[in-house]
């Protein structure tokens, strides 16, 4: 998963990503730690839009 990498590239902390994406901070923390089994498509879209990166690039490796 590249969410954390893309966030760090922009020098954003998790709170800033939460604010820019309108996704809860706790949700972002859980996603980055891998503590979430199912993330809704709407949350994936919000995060990818805030970071300007396609959903597939953020959350899926070429191996998946």
Global confidence as pTM: 0.87
**Would residue 9 count as lying in a domain?**
yes
Going 11 to 4 to 61 to 54, the CA torsion angle's sign is negative
Structurally, the chain folds into a number of domains equal to: 1
Residue 63 lies in a domain: no
Whole-number CA gyration radius for the chain = 11
Minimum mean pLDDT range among 5-9, 20-24, 54-58: 54-58
Does 23 reside within a domain?
A: yes
Give the residue-averaged pLDDT of 1-22.
Answer: 95
Domain extent, residue 20, equals: 3-58
Reading the block at residue 62, the tokens are 């070429």
Q: What CATH number is associated with residue 32?
A: 1.10.260.40
Confidence of residue 63 (pLDDT cuts 50, 70, 90): low
Quick: pLDDT tens for 16-54: 999 999 999 999 999 999 898 888 999 999 999 999 999
């Amino acid at each position: 998963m590249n969410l954390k990498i893309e966030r760090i590239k922009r020098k954003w902390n998790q709170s800033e990503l939460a604010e820019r994406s309108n996704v809860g901070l706790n949700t972002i923390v859980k996603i980055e730690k891998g503590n979430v089994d199912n993330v809704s498509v709407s949350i994936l879209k919000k995060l990818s839009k805030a970071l300007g990166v396609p959903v597939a690039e953020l959350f899926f490796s070429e191996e998946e």
